[in-house]
Amino acid sequence: MAARDSEPRFSIFGRIFGAGLLLLGCTAIGLALFLHHDARRAADRAFDRLLAASALTIAGSVRIAEDGIEVEPPHAALAMLSGMDRVFYTARGPDGKAITGYDDLAWALPPARSAAPRFDDIDYRDEPVRVATVGRLVSAGPHAGWVTIRVAETRDARNALTSEIWRRGVTPLLVIAPLALALLWFGLRRAFAPLAAMEQELSRREPDDLRPLDMPAPREVTRLAQALNGVMPRLENAMRNINTLVADAAHQVRTPLASLRAQAEVAMEETDPQRLHERVTRIHQNATLASQLVSQLLMDATITHRLGMRGTASVGIAEIVNDTRNHIGPLEAARLRIFIAPEVRRARVTGDRVALREMLRNLVDNALRYAPEGPIELRVTPVSALRVAITVNDHGPGIPDDEIERVQERFQRGSSGAQQPGSGLGLAIVRMVAQAHGGSLWLQNRPGGGLAAKVILPRIKPTYRKSAAVLAAVMTGLLSAVSAPSPAQAEDCATEPTTTHYPTPTQGDPLLTIAGTTDTATMSGLILSFQNANPGVAVNYLEMGSSALYEAASSGRLPDVDVLMSPATDLQVRLANDGYALRYDTPRTAGMPDWATWRNEVFGFTLEPVVMVYNPRRYTDATAPRSHQALLRLLESEGAALHGRVGTYDLTRSSVGYLLAEQDEQVSSDFWGLADALGRAGVRRVACGREILDAIERDDLDLGYNVLGSQALARQADGGHIGVIYPHDYELVLTRSVLIARHTRQPALARALVDWLLSPAGQAAAASKAGLGSLIAGTPGPWTADAVLTHSPGVVQPVAMGPGLLTGLDRQRHARFIRNWVRLVGETPPGDEPAPRAPARAATGTAE
C-alpha cells in the first residue's frame, strides 16, 4: 500500500492544459479551413438571394396570352445583379420548349416542379456559373403545368467576397491563440482553488462529524457538493439505524440467549429422563423465542432500510392480500376469510410492495397467534377521500383500552398476550409502514370479544386508459352528432370557445394548454395518444375558430396557452412573423417537406387535400366535373339547372376559405371567371364545410367547391352519401400547423408535443384518422401522404409556408380581393336557403 501511495499521481491541471493546447492548435488549423469553406457559403448565400430575386421577378412577368405563354423580363430583374459578372437567363414552357433568353442554358438540368428556388453549379460557355431555377404554375385550358425560369451568373464577385471574408476571419486567430493560452493557464489556477478549500474543510473534521458542507462551491461542482451533502444525512441515518439495531439486538437477545445457555448447562448435568425432557422443551421454547426475536429485528431493519430508500411503485391491494395468504402456512390459511369490496378490487396504492406485505402479514400473524380458535377475517373496503381500509378481525382476548397506544411502541406487549411468545415489534412495524405510506393504524376492541386492527391507506385515483379513451370518444362522438361540428372542423364554425380537460392519475402533474380549431372529438384521440406516450402530463384543449384564435393570440388574450394549432397557415405564419412564436430547432424536421415548416417556428403535421364533392343522386364518378375547368364549363352550360345547388366557402366569414381562394387565384388564370360563374349560378356561401356536406346528404345541394378533403373523406368513411373528386388539373394541399406560444409556461412540454406530432408515433396516430392524415411520407395507416399523392392525378400544389403568405393578409390586398369576390358572387343574404331541387339528369358528357 505504501508503495502505491508513493507512486506519482497524474495532474488534472496538466492534462487539461495539455489537452487545451492540443485542441487549440487543431482548432486553429480546422478553423482556418472552415472559415474558407464558410466564407464561400456566405458569399453564395448573399449572391443567391439576388439571383433568386431576379428569377422570381422574371417569373412574376409570366402571363397567358391568346397565342400561348409570354415572358417579358423586367429591367430590374437583371439590373439588380452584380456588375462584375456575366449574366444569362432562359424561360421554358411546360412542354420544355424555349420561350426566350439563352436557349442552351442549363438544358441538362431537370425542369422546375416547385416555386421554391433551386441552385446549381455548372459550366456554361467555358466558365463556372451559378444557376437559380424557379417555377411558376400556370393553368391554361384543361391542364396545369410549370414554366421553368433560370438565371445564371459567373462567380467572379463571389470569389472576391470569399477571399475578403476569409482574410478578415483568419487575421484575429494570430492574436487570439497566445491570448487564449495565457487565459487558460490563469483560469485553471483559479478554477481549482475552491476545491483545495473544500479539501481542507473536510480534512479538519472529526470522524463522526457528518454535518453538511457549508461553504460556497463553484457552479461546476455544485452538484458534487449537493450530492455530498445529500450523502451526509443518509449516512448519519444509516449509522443511527445500525446503532439502534445493534443496541436493540444486544438488549433484547441477551436475555433469551442467557436463559438458553443456562438451560443447556443444567440439561447437560441432568440424568433423569423425565426432567431432561422438560429441560430440552424449555431449551426449544427459548430457541424459538430467540429465533422469532432475531427474525423480527432483521425484518424491522430491512423495512426501515427500504422505506429510507424512498422507492415507490404502484401496488395492487389484491396483490398484497394474495402475497400475505401465500406466505402463511396452509393450516393458518384455511382459517383466513378474505372479503374485498367490488369498488376496491382494482385499487392500487403507491409504496413499497415488500413493506406493505410484511405490514399485513404481521397483522394476520398476531390474529392467528392470539386468537387460536375461530376464523380470521380480512376485509378490504373503500373509505371516503380516495382511501382504502384493510381490516383484520379476530376473536381473541383483545387489548385493554389503556394499553392500545403503548402496544404500538417498540418492544411493548399487552397484558392479554403475555402468555404467548413474542417480541413486541409487530404492531410497531405495522404503524411505521402505514405512516410511511401516508396512512394510519387503528386498534379497536370488538363487541362480543376480539380485536379489529385497521390500516387506512391513500389509494391512487383509478384510471382506465383504454376504457376511458373509448368512452371519451363515444361520448364526444354522440355530443358532436347533436351539437358539435363534423370531424376535422377547421374553420370559423365555433360560436363560443370550449375547454376540455384531460387529467392524469396524480394530482399536481404539469399542465399543457392547447388552443386549436380542430374539433374536440378528433383531437381527443391525438391528446390521449400523446398522454400515453408522455405519462404524467395533463392537457387542457381550448377549441375555437381560426379567426378568433388569431385575434386572441395577437391581442394577448391567451396568456395561459402553450401551443396554437390551426389549418389557417397564413394566420399562423403571421403570428410567427409578428413575434408570437417560440423558435424550436427540433431534429424531427429532417423528414418533413420543405414547404411544411418555416423558421423552425411553425410546423405542419397533417396533409389534407382540397377536393370537390358531388351528390351521387345527380352525378356519378364519371359524370361529375373532374377539374376546375370542367366545373367552369358545367356552370356556364347548366347554370340554370344548378342555380342554388352549388356550395362553397363564404370568404367574408371563413379564414380557410379565403386562404384557398387566394391560392386558387395565384395558380389559375380562370379563377375570377369561375367566381363569376358561381355567382350567376346562385352559389350557396357557408362558413363551415360541414354545412356543404350536410346539404349534399340532405339532397339540397349537388356540388361542393373547395371543400377540405379531411372533412369529406371523414364523412365518406363514416358512410356519408357523398362523392369525392381529386381535381385532375391541380390539387391544393393544406397542412394543419402547430406553433409554440412565445410566452408559454411549459416550454419543455410544448417541445415534447411538437416532437411527438412529427414522430412516427404521432404521424401514425394522424394517419389512423380520416379527419387528419399524416404529413411525412412512409407513415403506415389508411390516411397518409402517400395515399393522397396516389389519388391526386393532377399537379399537387401545397400551400407552402413562408413570407409569401403574408401578402394575402395585407389590408388593401385583402379588401380588394373581398370586394371583387362580393361583386361577382354577391352578399350572403340572411337565412340563405338552397333553391328547389332541379330535375335530376345525367351530365352531358364525362367531365375532366
Domain-wise residue ranges, the chain: 26-164, 250-306, 316-458, 485-607+735-801, 609-733+810-848
For the chain, what percent of residues have pLDDT higher than 70? 80
Question: Which ranges constitute the DSSP H helices of 328-395?
Answer: 330-335, 353-370
Lowest model confidence (mean pLDDT) among 33-37, 280-284, 545-549, 654-658: 280-284
| DSSP per-residue letters across 85-150 | S-EEEEEE-TTS-EEEE-TTTTTTSPPP-SSS-EEEEEEETTEEEEEEEEEEEEEETTEEEEEEEE
Helices (H) and strands (E) in the chain, counts: 24, 28
Q: Which residues, 6 or more positions from 128, have their beta carbon under 8 angstroms from its beta carbon?
A: 121, 122, 154, 155
pLDDT (0 to 100) of residue 261: 67
For residues 52 and 312, the model is more confident at 52
Residue appearing with cell numbers 370537390:
612
Residue 835: is its pLDDT beyond 90? no
CATH T-level assignment (fold) for domain 485-607+735-801: D-Maltodextrin-Binding Protein; domain 2 (3.40.190)
Do residues 668 and 139 lie in contact, with contact meaning Cβ atoms separated by under 8 Å?
A: yes
Residue appearing with cell numbers 406487549:
413
Lowest model confidence (mean pLDDT) among 64-78, 220-234, 763-777: 220-234
Highest mean pLDDT: which range of 148-157, 229-238, 243-252, 304-313: 148-157
Give pLDDT tens digits for 199-219: 777 777 776 677 777 777 777
For residues 572 and 384, the model is more confident at 572
Mean pLDDT of 815-820: 86
pLDDT (0 to 100) of residue 9: 62
Mean pLDDT of 67-93: 81
- Residue 395: phi, psi to the nearest 5? -115, 35
Lowest model confidence (mean pLDDT) among 137-151, 167-181, 283-297, 715-729: 283-297
Residue 843: is its pLDDT beyond 50? no
Give pLDDT tens digits for 562-613: 999 999 999 998 898 788 999 999 999 988 898 999 889 999 999 889 999 9
The strands making up 87-92's β-sheet, listed across from edge to edge, are 98-101, 87-92, 143-154, 127-140, 118-124
State the DSSP code for 809.
G
Identical fold for domains 26-164 and 316-458, yes or no, is no
Give pLDDT tens digits for 658-683: 999 989 988 888 899 999 999 999 99
Q: Where does the pLDDT of residue 738 fall: very low under 50, low under 70, confident under 90, or very high at 90 and above?
A: very high
Give pLDDT tens digits for 448-503: 788 888 999 998 876 544 444 444 443 433 333 333 333 333 445 655 789 999 99
Domain 316-458 has CATH 3.30.565.10: yes
For residues 773 and 648, the model is more confident at 648
Q: Are strands 451-458 and 498-502 parallel, antiparallel or unpaired?
A: unpaired
640, with CB counted inside 10 A (0-12, 13-18, 19+), is exposed
Mean pLDDT of 382-401: 86
CATH homologous superfamily of 609-733+810-848 equals Periplasmic binding protein-like II (3.40.190.10)
Mean pLDDT of 290-302: 63
For residues 842 and 364, the model is more confident at 364
pLDDT (0 to 100) of residue 170: 81
pLDDT (0 to 100) of residue 564: 97
pLDDT (0 to 100) of residue 696: 94
Domain 26-164 has CATH 1.10.30: no
Give pLDDT tens digits for 412-452: 666 665 556 555 677 878 888 888 888 888 888 888 788 88
The span from the CA of 427 to the CA of 442, in Å, is: 11
pLDDT (0 to 100) of residue 672: 92
Q: Where does the pLDDT of residue 732 fall: very low under 50, low under 70, confident under 90, or very high at 90 and above?
A: very high
Question: Measured between alpha carbons, how far is residue 146 from residues 118, 668, 798 in Å?
Answer: 14, 12, 14
Average predicted confidence (pLDDT) for the chain: 80
3-state secondary structure of 64: strand
pLDDT (0 to 100) of residue 150: 94
Whole-structure pTM over 0.85, yes or no?
Answer: no
pLDDT (0 to 100) of residue 115: 87
State the DSSP code for 503.
-
pLDDT (0 to 100) of residue 96: 87
Residue appearing with cell numbers 335530376:
840
Mean pLDDT of 737-757: 95
Distance of CA 178 to the CA centre of its chain: 48
Residues making up the chain, counted from first to last: 848
Q: Which residues, 6 or more positions from 506, have their beta carbon under 8 angstroms from its beta carbon?
A: 460, 461, 536
* Cell of residue 698, nine digits: 340532405
